[in-house]
Structure 1
Amino acid sequence: MTTGGDQRLQRALAALRNGDAAEAAELLQALTAAGPVAASTWLALAFARVNLDQADAALAAVDRALQLEPRNLRALLFKADHLDRLGQASTALQFYQAALRVAAATPQLPADVVQGLNRAQDVCDRRAAQYENYLLETLEDAGFSRREHPRVAESLDIACGKAPVQLQQPTRFYFPGLPQRAFYGREEFPWVAELEAQTDAIREELLAISRDDRHFQPYLEVNEHQPILNSSRNLGSMDWGACYLWREGERVAAVAEQCPRTVAALEQVPLCLIPGQMPSVLFSRLAPGARIEPHHGAVNSRLICHLPLVVPSHCGELRVGNYSRAWREGELLIFDDSVEHEAWNQSQEPRVVLLFDIWRPELSPEERGWLSQLLQAVKAYSFE
């Protein structure tokens, strides 16, 4: 920033301290229009605009600050407070929680930030209690009994932070008592052979639809309604691409209609069915030289399946926990993605698998029903 810019910034900050939000906003808007500025300047503009009752403009300014510095604690707290005032409590909660996660790894915090974090913790604690009551009441209204379904009850306690996750480390929801297995054998599932027999037909439909690359999108997408704390190199990148046939439980007609044999082959598969959430069925494409960093899946009540369709020589492997498997075209891989896993493609050609999720075989039909109810309640609460 030039000397003149420095002077205007100091004048703007002084005006803001003195309660002259209009002058501060005018000076700060001029600075941002003149060229690139620091995140702190955008944040100051957000404060000025909120003092002028310019709610949307204030939100736009703090979003610019967070684009530049996604872990800026003052910006995260400002956005959380601002969204809370606007009545967007569920979205605000995500930013309060993000601020607390960032702060946990940040030593020697300024007093004003500590004050904001205390407020964030109070909000999170209050919402956690409301969340627990909501989930429990939803299940009880449907006839749920803790005594009759202790594992579902334990999963509710874990979801509400009353019990720890052990061994498996799903990022969204934990169900207790399931075997700690990285990979499952193909021979354990009676439907596998029939699906594998359709590999050539499914590959033909993949190759046909791949001629229009618009069907593919980054598997890890940027979401402006969530804190951008994911540091993966694949965020927003086509190195890990996805072409969905089903997404969050909804059939993607534009793709599914072009892949009738793939859809028919999946009709005999026990896909994980949770309205509005699962299954996800997609062609997962890993670009040459690309790598998927170690991570954990969202839930441990499902298994992930890879039907390899295009596997170049010396492609690489899928690691789940302490075990690694190479992809072989037409041979299904079945694994628990709540265990840490990663994948890489060391070849010079893309690797493509048909990826889909199925219910864990250890879950009873009744438990699957209760889990579906519970996970729908989790999602309904987040959009309340």
Structure 2
Amino acid sequence: MSTAISETQSNDGLARLLQESEDCRLRGRTTEAERLLGKALTQWPDSLEAAMRLAQLALDRQDFGRAIELLQEACQRNPDEPQAALDLAVVHLNTGNPQAAVAVLEASLARTPEFCNGWLLLGQVREALGDELGALTAWYQAITRARRAGWWTDESTTPPQLLDAVLHAVDRLRRGRRQLFFGCYDDLRQTYGASELRRVDRALTGHLREWDSTPSDPRQRPKFLFFPDLPSSPYHDPFLQPWAPQLRAAFPDMRQEALDLIRQECALPNFIDFKPGDRVENVLTGEGPQPAWEAFFFYRHGKRFDENHARCPKTSAVLESIELCRIADQAPEVCFSVLRPGTHIMPHHGVTNTRLVMHLPLIVPPDCALNLVDAGEHHWKEGELVMFDDTFKHEAWNRSTSTRIILLMDCWSPYLTPVEKQAVKRLVETISGLQQADRMPNADDRMAAPQ
């Protein structure tokens, strides 16, 4: 009780000094205001507000050295409060020291990467220093982080004092996206050599439509990114994955955990996240009483479903022991895929051939199949792995009267090198980050991020 009272009195004392100093400032008694703030800072050295007010008074009388000293101390005592770092960077800029401003911002953003204003200013300073790629990288962070949080999507969500800077950043990203995309894995090129990234470069220039990267096989049509020079085949040997034997050996445990879930009759979400206006019949049809494609997700778009892992601990342990394709907001995608009786998944294409799809059939009634169009049907057999390239047109069906369950997971193409996997991960995250920003609601043409 006495400690709480003491803390309350202490806070009241600080608040009183801050108010008194503000009253003095408003009456033009700046010397007295500074004295009171100095007293407050002596008694409460961690007070960010006292330090920043005192720094502002020092700036008002053009004592830049004192302002820098105060803000540096504030940053050291409050490393997770990025506004002090931003103010310090601005003072460095105004005193002709942009390199110091960059150093302050970079150190602060390493601790508080969600501070969009810091990224925005860092982009401006880097641009002024001639570091074009560094500026684009900072602006990418600023715009994508802000828009994921619902900010800077249009003029109503952008503070007026930032509007011109935000518009400039969006415009520069639109015009500089090629440099940004190549730059996101440039350090790998410097480390491993240009020849190790040749195929990634070729995939990127194809994505940018600098050449026609349409696959020669008319059955293969990636919806997002085609990586050339990989073996082009609908089906692939699952044991090209070094962890395939481990996955197959886990079949009995995974099957039992899937059976337990079905017996509990727990509600499962649809595998496809249908949106208002979507025509379900374009995705699912069938003669069953309630055609449905459902999923018990372990990972979805890279997000881990901890509760589901806890409910199936043996399956979880195996998944966490093997290489998963990890791409922010994209992968892994791992689930018990549940196809209800009489359901037909209509023909469709996947997004990229840098990832393949692995199936471990767990519960397979008769008359169930995966069909890669014009490449042949595959009739699942319980416990037998199958791996395929889902950028080839494919469909699946369950024409039985029982539920079919498989472990479905995406995985890296085994034909990619470790360095290529790193580069593709960065490239996809950068491209999709900009696309996500552009999909934010209420964004008008001026505020739209580049595709």
* TM-score when normalising by structure 2: 0.53
Q: 1:354 aligns with which of 386, 407, 418?
A: 407
Q: 1:132 aligns with which of 178, 195, 199?
A: 178
Q: Alpha-carbon deviations, 1:169-197, whole Å to 9, x = none? A: 11111111111111122444443233222
Instruction: Tell me the residue number matched to 1:103.
Output: none
Q: 1:312 to 1:147 in 2, by over 3 A?
A: closer
Q: Alpha-carbon deviations, 1:12-47, whole Å to 9, x = none? A: xxxxxxxxxxxxxxxxxxxxxxxxxxxxxxxxxxxx
Equivalent position SS for 1:316: strand
Task: Supply the RMSD in Å over aligned alpha carbons.
Answer: 3.0
The answer to whether the Cα contact below 8 Å between 1:209 and 1:215 also exists between their aligned partners in 2 is: no
- Correspondence 1:88-237 to 2 at 5 A: 129-140=175-186, 149-163=197-211, 164-166=213-215, 167=217, 168-211=220-263, 213-223=265-275, 228=278, 232-234=282-284
Equivalent position SS for 1:272: coil
> How much has 1:134 moved relative to structure 2?
3.3
Q: 1:233 to 1:247 in 2, by over 3 A?
A: closer
- Correspondence 1:54-73 to 2 at 5 A: none
Q: Alpha-carbon deviations, 1:271-295, whole Å to 9, x = none? A: 2122332111001111111111111
Q: 1:196 to 1:334 in 2, by over 3 A?
A: same
2:302 & 2:362 partners in 1: Cα distance? 23
The answer to whether the Cα contact below 8 Å between 2:295 and 2:335 also exists between their aligned partners in 1 is: yes
The answer to whether the Cα contact below 8 Å between 1:280 and 1:357 also exists between their aligned partners in 2 is: yes
Q: Alpha-carbon deviations, 1:64-116, whole Å to 9, x = none? A: xxxxxxxxxxxxxxxxxxx986689xxxxxxxxxxxxxxxxxxxxxxxxxxxx
Letter in 1 for 2:181: L
Instruction: Tell me the residue number matched to 1:339.
Output: 392
> How much has 1:267 moved relative to structure 2?
3.5
Equivalent position SS for 2:260: helix
2:281 & 2:207 partners in 1: Cα distance? 25
Q: Which runs of 5 or more residues in structure 2 are unaligned?
A: 1-151, 158-170, 438-451
Equivalent position SS for 2:368: coil
Matched, 1:329 2:382: yes
The answer to whether the Cα contact below 8 Å between 1:284 and 1:354 also exists between their aligned partners in 2 is: yes
2:182 & 2:156 partners in 1: Cα distance? 24
Q: Decide which structure has the larger Cα Rg and report it.
A: 2
Moved more, 190-199 or 301-310: 190-199
Counting aligned pairs with the same residue, the percent is 32
Q: Alpha-carbon deviations, 1:304-330, whole Å to 9, x = none? A: 011001101233343355122100000
Matched, 1:304 2:360: no
Q: 1:128 to 1:239 in 2, by over 3 A?
A: farther
Letter in 1 for 2:305: V
Letter in 2 for 1:179: P
The answer to whether the Cα contact below 8 Å between 1:146 and 1:152 also exists between their aligned partners in 2 is: no
Q: Alpha-carbon deviations, 1:198-238, whole Å to 9, x = none? A: 212111111222345555211111246xx858862439x96
> How much has 1:131 moved relative to structure 2?
3.8
Q: 2:332 aligns with which of 279, 284, 289?
A: 279
Instruction: Tell me the residue number matched to 1:364.
Output: 417
- Correspondence 1:236-251 to 2 at 5 A: 239-251=292-304
Q: Alpha-carbon deviations, 1:137-159, whole Å to 9, x = none? A: 43447756766522111111122
Whichever structure has more helix as a proportion of its residues is 2
Equivalent position SS for 2:284: coil
The answer to whether the Cα contact below 8 Å between 1:317 and 1:345 also exists between their aligned partners in 2 is: no
> How much has 1:254 moved relative to structure 2?
1.3
2:234 & 2:351 partners in 1: Cα distance? 15
1:318 & 1:241 partners in 2: Cα distance? 19
Q: 1:316 to 1:359 in 2, by over 3 A?
A: closer
Equivalent position SS for 2:421: helix
Q: 1:367 to 1:187 in 2, by over 3 A?
A: closer
2:410 & 2:180 partners in 1: Cα distance? 28
Instruction: Tell me the residue number matched to 2:100.
Output: none
The answer to whether the Cα contact below 8 Å between 2:189 and 2:196 also exists between their aligned partners in 1 is: no
The answer to whether the Cα contact below 8 Å between 2:369 and 2:377 also exists between their aligned partners in 1 is: no
2:185 & 2:369 partners in 1: Cα distance? 44
The answer to whether the Cα contact below 8 Å between 1:284 and 1:355 also exists between their aligned partners in 2 is: yes
The answer to whether the Cα contact below 8 Å between 2:188 and 2:423 also exists between their aligned partners in 1 is: no
* TM-score when normalising by structure 1: 0.61
